[in-house]
Amino acid sequence: MDKLKARLAAFMSGRYGMDDLNKGLVGLYVVILLVNLGLKSQILSALIWPIMVYAIYRTYSRDHARRSAENDKYLALTKPLRRRLSIARRAIAGFKSYRYRSCPHCKATIELPARKGSRSIICPKCKTEFEVRIRV
Ligand SMILES: [Zn+2]
C-alpha cells in the first residue's frame, strides 16, 4: 500500500492541478450534460468530451507557465461575469436587509438598507449624488 502511495505521489509530482479555468470547464461540462439530458443532441454529446479531455489534460500538465497564462486569460475574460454573479449572490443572501444599486456615474455597487421609498444617496466612491427607489 505504501508503495502504491509513493508511486501515486511520484506521478502527481510537478503536475499543474486544478485552477479556475479547470473549474469553469468542469462546470461547463456539467451544464451541457444536464441540458443534453432533455435535448438528447448528438452534437452536444460530441462537444462535451473534448471539454473534459482538455480539463484533464490541463490538470496533469507539467507546463505550469502555459497553464497559468491560460488561466489568467480566462480570469480576465470572465471578470465582468464573475463580478455580476458575486453581486447577485450577495443580493440573494441579504435580501431581507439590503438592496444593491449601481452608481450611474462610476458603476460602483452600493449596498443600501432595505427601506421602502425614494431617497437621494451619495456614492461613497465618486461622491455623485443620485436618486434611488426601493419598492419592496
Ligand atoms: Zn459613483
- For the chain, the structural domain boundaries read 2-93, 96-136
Ligand 1 centroid vs 131 CA: distance in angstroms? 12
User: Dihedral, CA atoms, 83, 88, 89, 93, nearest 10 degrees?
Assistant: 140
Categorize the per-residue pLDDT at 67 as very low, low, confident or very high, splitting at 50, 70 and 90. Answer: very high
pTM: 0.68
Check residue 61 and give its pLDDT. 96
**Residues 6 or more apart in contact with residue 83 via CB below 8 angstroms:** none
Phi/psi region, residue 32 (left: phi>0; alpha: psi -120 to 50; beta: rest), is alpha
Residue 94 pLDDT greater than 90, yes or no:
no
Ligand 1 centroid vs 129 CA: distance in angstroms? 8
**In this structure, are residues 89 and 100 in contact, taking their beta carbons and an 8 Å threshold?**
no
Ligand 1 centroid vs 120 CA: distance in angstroms? 13
> Can you give the C-alpha Rg of the chain in angstroms?
23
Ligand 1 centroid vs 110 CA: distance in angstroms? 9
Ligand 1 centroid vs 106 CA: distance in angstroms? 4
